[in-house]
Amino acid sequence: MKVSKAIITAAGQGQAQLPLQSVVDRSGNVRTAVDLLIDEVVAAGIEEIALVIRPGTAEQYLAAAGSHASKLRFFEQDHPRGYGDALLRARPFADKEPFLHLVSDHLYVSRSGVACAKQLVDVAIRENCSVSAVQPTRENLLAYFGAVGGSPVPRQSGLFEIARVVEKPTPTEAEQKLVVAGQRMGHYLCLFGMHVLAPTIFGLLDSRSASLATDESFNLSDCLDQLARAERYLATELEGVRYDIGEKYGLLIAQLAIALSGEDRNRILSELVELLAKN
């Protein structure tokens, strides 16, 4: 498998401005969230990037992408029909090739020095199949993520054969369908917002789209669930953490995490201590 393209979806309701937020990167430079996301993609050796956006926002993204602007192609989602539909818009770009897919409301911090996207792409190439990055997540956060169920791949640490994917499951459903051996009690493998997907996914998205009325939305997780039944589909735990910047204080926490993993770690720690002492 060769992965040379990436698709970032940024057309979600209330999400349009998130990737354009300013963030200080690990080196102390002020950049935008989308710029950092593209860094991830580039670190994985990918130079062709599609951004699925709301109509009329391409200029803003071009400005926000900084030095990466030339790598971008834009696909507009003119009617908000959900996450599944957004990805489907970039089908011509993928052109029957596997692709890396990221959501635009997450930021990633690697713990290993190797970018998260790079780690994921390496696994996908090695296993030659679709792979979604996952992160063990406590059940009280299930309402925010898609989650996968399945079984560990023998003798492969952090790699799982996916049997089910459920979007924002209740803990009741998760306990019945998504328990994965070896995970801590009450923890589930939730999607990391980063996937390498075979082009099969577009067929599934297309069928799903066709089965619904033109104004009905559909998400990606249902099609990932079908993908798991249709072909080998793995999940992998990466050496890194995702931060959902769409949540309350999400951007702040992501910023702190990035700063604490960067050059100004000591300064930020001192500031935090001072802040704590004053409050």
Using CB under 8 A, which of the segments 5-13, 39-47, 138-146, 223-231 binds another protein?
Answer: 138-146
140 binds another protein (CB under 8 A): yes
Among 45, 186, 199, 246, interactor with another protein by CB under 8 A: 186
> How far from the centroid of its chain's Cα atoms is residue 4's Cα?
17
Phi, psi of 158 (to 5 degrees): 75, 15
Number of other residues whose CB lies within 10 A of the CB of residue 145: 23
274 binds another protein (CB under 8 A): no
Distance CA 88, CA 220 (A): 10
207 binds another protein (CB under 8 A): no
Name the residue nearer to another protein (CB basis): 33 or 166: 166
In the chain the beta strands, taken as DSSP E runs, fall at: 5-10, 22-24, 30-32, 48-53, 72-76, 99-103, 106-110, 130-138, 146-152, 159-167, 187-197, 233-237, 240-244
Among 22, 176, 207, 270, interactor with another protein by CB under 8 A: 176
Name the residue nearer to another protein (CB basis): 70 or 140: 140
What angle, rounded to 10 degrees, do the helices at 220-230 and 200-211 form? 130
Work out how close the CB of 168 gets to another protein at its nearest, in angstroms, rounded to a whole number.
8
Q: What sign does the CA torsion over 141, 146, 151, 156 have?
A: negative
Name the residue nearer to another protein (CB basis): 13 or 70: 13
Among 29, 55, 112, 175, interactor with another protein by CB under 8 A: 175
Question: Which 3 state secondary structure label does DSSP give 61?
Answer: helix
Work out how close the CB of 137 gets to another protein at its nearest, in angstroms, rounded to a whole number.
11
171 binds another protein (CB under 8 A): yes
Work out how close the CB of 179 gets to another protein at its nearest, in angstroms, rounded to a whole number.
7
Name the residue nearer to another protein (CB basis): 140 or 157: 140
> How far from the centroid of its chain's Cα atoms is residue 96's Cα?
21
Among 48, 97, 122, 173, interactor with another protein by CB under 8 A: 173
Distance CA 180, CA 72 (A): 38
Give contact residues for another protein (rule: CB under 8 A): 139-143, 170-176, 179, 185-186
